[in-house]
């Protein structure tokens, strides 16, 4: 099983703050509890942070840039310590996406110009003020603004991206961060899982509260995953905004984006924003039913004024099964003493968790689901390419990621890589029981290199079982005797 720590909405309420030390202690103490719960919950292997890293600042805040950097400094310290405490300091195992609180309203406002009666008339209606439009409606002043500086408008996430550059500065990311394409890719579980970190803040600003993923982003993201040299078994999408809410709400994402994710092969979606945990399946028919499990995490740090009635601070622990076809969503709720425990609300009321299933996309040949067979095949291809380019150590590392016993061409590649890196110990551990005369000779040679002379002599005594000819046996025996002499006299 693979376990994800899913946290969201880290923005610290000015009315009900919680400091990093207390928060980290509460998370670690709760881990001690759920590690011994039934059903089994493993220690988190990675974390997904689904947006709203900071509280943000209001319009006309003096020196707002310095305040944003201060808040991101607090968030950095928390997430860096989280990586140390949970993931041995490996920042690449922490996936972060932006939320609406990460958008700088002041920067967005400075890129707009208020229309005047002298400007050409506009037939204003609600659809005119969507996220991709350059027009904005201000309800407070009943006036229309136009985004007249699109370059400056894009800088409204600059503080967030400075935080991201700092957080991932020394991380060994498989895919370099891209600040312009609307998504980033993270590989988890040795590449068996790929997380698409999606930006649902397209067009979000001080006047436009809705969540949106820019057109073409999902298509480009799916194509980028298709082009990976190693195909994942499970695709996970992470974003910030919810896609359902009250009729009068205006800060939700179009569910059509979710439908596109399902059709593109994503089977697990994680988001935040609504400050309340939930888990449910969403399906489309193309022409057969395709489903995606979607879970929202409550707010980790929001204050009482910002939480829905009856809801406390929360986070989720997501346990993905070994077949990558289901997950349990354990909701952890902060109650007395600022400590977390099982949630006793809604669909999580009975056991503190909910379980959802999905069917993996069909394989490229239209048959079996994408399982370890496809994963293994892609690794073998990469290992072969690494060997061909004199990167034997990389080839060896890749092949060691494969769980099942290596056979056929993969076995040959492993032996070649071990030989090229002169790693006799790995050669001995891998071969153990030779499957050919060539493997018998490789194992014998590795034993001589490591001065395992008694083991080499015992192996030589079994040469007949492997149909090793007499001439070869005599040659190997001569090498053994020479090695024994050298060891004895040096």
Q: What is the pLDDT of residues 171-230, one digit of tens each?
A: 999 999 999 999 999 999 988 999 999 999 999 999 999 999 998 999 999 999 999 888
For residue 25, tell me if it sits in a domain: yes
Residues 332 and 378 both lie in one domain: no
What's the domain count of the chain? Answer: 2
Distance, CA of 420 to CA of 442 (rounded, Å)? 12
pLDDT of residue 374: 59
Helix, strand or coil, per DSSP, at residue 80: helix
Q: What is the pLDDT of residues 397-417, one digit of tens each?
A: 888 888 777 877 788 889 989
pLDDT of residue 249: 66
H-state helical runs in 175-239 = 217-226
Confirm if 91 and 168 have CB atoms less than 8 A apart. Answer: yes
CA separation (Å) from 456 to 177, 430, 443, 479? 50, 15, 8, 10
Residues 404 and 290 both lie in one domain: no
* Token code pair at residue 13: 């309420």
Residues 352 and 376 both lie in one domain: no
Residues 344 and 206 both lie in one domain: yes
Residue 43 DSSP one-character state: P
pLDDT of residue 322: 87
Q: Which long-range contacts (CB under 8 A, 24 or more apart) does 285-293 make?
A: 290/262, 290/263, 290/359, 290/361, 291/262, 291/267, 291/358, 291/359, 292/258, 292/261, 292/262, 292/266, 292/267, 292/268, 292/358, 293/267, 293/268, 293/269, 293/326, 293/327, 293/356, 293/357, 293/358
CATH of residue 420: 1.25.40
Q: Which of 357, 383, 418 is the last residue of a domain?
A: 357
pLDDT of residue 372: 58
User: Please, what is the average pLDDT of the chain?
Assistant: 89
Residues 167 and 233 both lie in one domain: yes
pLDDT of residue 371: 54
Where is 295: in which H helix or E strand? strand 289-296
Mean pLDDT of 448-464: 89
Residues 43 and 170 both lie in one domain: yes
pLDDT-derived band at 462, boundaries 50, 70, 90: confident
pLDDT-derived band at 103, boundaries 50, 70, 90: very high
For residue 137, tell me if it sits in a domain: no
DSSP assignment of 364-430? TTSSSBS-HHHHHHHHHHHHHHHHHTT-HHHHHHHHHT--SPP-HHHHHHHHHHHHHTT-HHHHHHH
Residues 200 and 93 both lie in one domain: yes
Residues 346 and 405 both lie in one domain: no
For residue 18, tell me if it sits in a domain: yes
For residue 117, tell me if it sits in a domain: no
Residue 170, C-beta contacts closer than 8 angstroms, at least 6 positions apart: 91
pLDDT of residue 436: 82
Residues 296 and 429 both lie in one domain: no
For residue 120, tell me if it sits in a domain: no
Residues 439 and 343 both lie in one domain: no
CATH of residue 349: 3.60.21.10
- Nearest residue to 283 via CA among 295, 298, 294, 297: 294
Residues 53 and 169 both lie in one domain: yes
Global confidence as pTM: 0.77
CA atoms within 13 A on the CB side of 59: 8
Distance, CA of 213 to CA of 220 (rounded, Å)? 12
pLDDT-derived band at 117, boundaries 50, 70, 90: confident
- Nearest residue to 27 via CA among 83, 75, 65: 83
For residue 198, tell me if it sits in a domain: yes
Residues 403 and 323 both lie in one domain: no
pLDDT of residue 330: 95
Mean pLDDT of 356-382: 66
Residue 347 DSSP one-character state: G
Q: What is the pLDDT of residues 249-264, one digit of tens each?
A: 678 898 889 999 999 9
For residue 473, tell me if it sits in a domain: yes
Q: ∠ CA 467-472-476 to the nearest 5 degrees?
A: 115
Whether the per-residue pLDDT at 387 is higher than 70: the answer is: yes
For residue 244, tell me if it sits in a domain: yes
What is the DSSP pairing of strand 135-138 with strand 143-147?
antiparallel
- Nearest residue to 291 via CA among 348, 359, 197: 359
Mean pLDDT of 382-390: 85
Provide the residue range defining the domain that includes 65. Answer: 2-111+149-357
């Amino acid at each position: 099983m693979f376990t994800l720590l899913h946290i969201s909405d880290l923005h610290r309420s000015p009315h009900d703050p919680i400091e990093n030390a207390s928060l980290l202690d509460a998370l670690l103490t709760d881990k001690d509890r759920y590690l011994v719960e039934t059903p089994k919950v493993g220690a988190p292997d990675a974390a997904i942070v689904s947006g709203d890293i900071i509280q943000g600042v209001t319009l006309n805040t003096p020196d707002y840039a310095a305040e944003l950097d201060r808040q991101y400094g607090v968030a950095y310290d928390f997430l860096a310590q989280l990586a140390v405490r949970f993931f041995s300091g490996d920042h690449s195992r922490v996936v972060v996406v932006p939320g609406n609180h990460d958008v700088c309203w002041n920067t967005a406002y400075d890129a707009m110009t208020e229309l005047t009666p002298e400007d050409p008339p506009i037939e204003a209606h609600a659809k005119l003020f969507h996220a991709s439009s350059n027009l904005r409606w201000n309800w407070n002043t009943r006036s229309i603004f136009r985004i007249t500086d699109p370059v400056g408008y894009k800088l409204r996430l600059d503080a967030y991206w400075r935080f991201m550059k700092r957080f991932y500065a020394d991380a060994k990311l498989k895919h370099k961060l891209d600040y312009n394409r609307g998504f980033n890719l993270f590989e988890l579980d040795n590449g068996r899982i790929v997380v698409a970190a999606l930006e649902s803040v397209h067009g979000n600003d001080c006047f436009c509260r809705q969540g949106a993923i820019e057109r073409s982003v999902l298509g480009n993201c799916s194509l980028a995953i298709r082009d990976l040299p190693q195909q994942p078994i499970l695709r996970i999408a992470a974003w910030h905004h919810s896609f359902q809410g009250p009729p009068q709400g205006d800060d939700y994402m179009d569910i059509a984006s979710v439908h596109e994710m399902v059709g593109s092969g994503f089977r697990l979606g994680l988001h935040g924003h609504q400050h309340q945990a939930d888990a449910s399946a969403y399906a489309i028919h193309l022409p057969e039913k395709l489903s995606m499990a979607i879970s929202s995490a409550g707010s980790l740090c929001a204050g009482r004024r910002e939480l829905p009635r009856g809801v406390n601070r929360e986070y989720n622990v997501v346990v993905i099964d070994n077949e990558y076809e289901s997950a349990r969503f354990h909701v952890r709720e902060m109650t007395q003493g600022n400590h977390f425990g099982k949630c006793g609300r809604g669909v999580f009321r009975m056991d503190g968790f909910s379980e959802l299933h999905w069917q993996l996309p069909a394989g490229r040949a239209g048959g079996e689901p994408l399982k370890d067979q496809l994963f293994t095949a892609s690794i073998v291809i990469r290992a072969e390419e690494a060997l061909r380019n004199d990167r034997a150590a990389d080839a060896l590392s890749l092949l060691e990621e494969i769980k099942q016993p290596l056979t056929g061409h993969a076995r040959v590649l492993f032996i070649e890589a071990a030989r090229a890196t002169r790693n006799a110990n790995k050669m001995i551990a891998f071969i153990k029981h030779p499957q050919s005369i060539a493997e018998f000779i490789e194992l014998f040679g590795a034993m001589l290199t490591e001065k395992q002379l008694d083991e080499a002599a015992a192996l030589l005594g079994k040469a007949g079982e492997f149909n090793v000819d007499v001439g070869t046996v005599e040659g190997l025996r001569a090498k053994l005797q020479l090695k024994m002499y050298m060891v004895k006299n040096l």
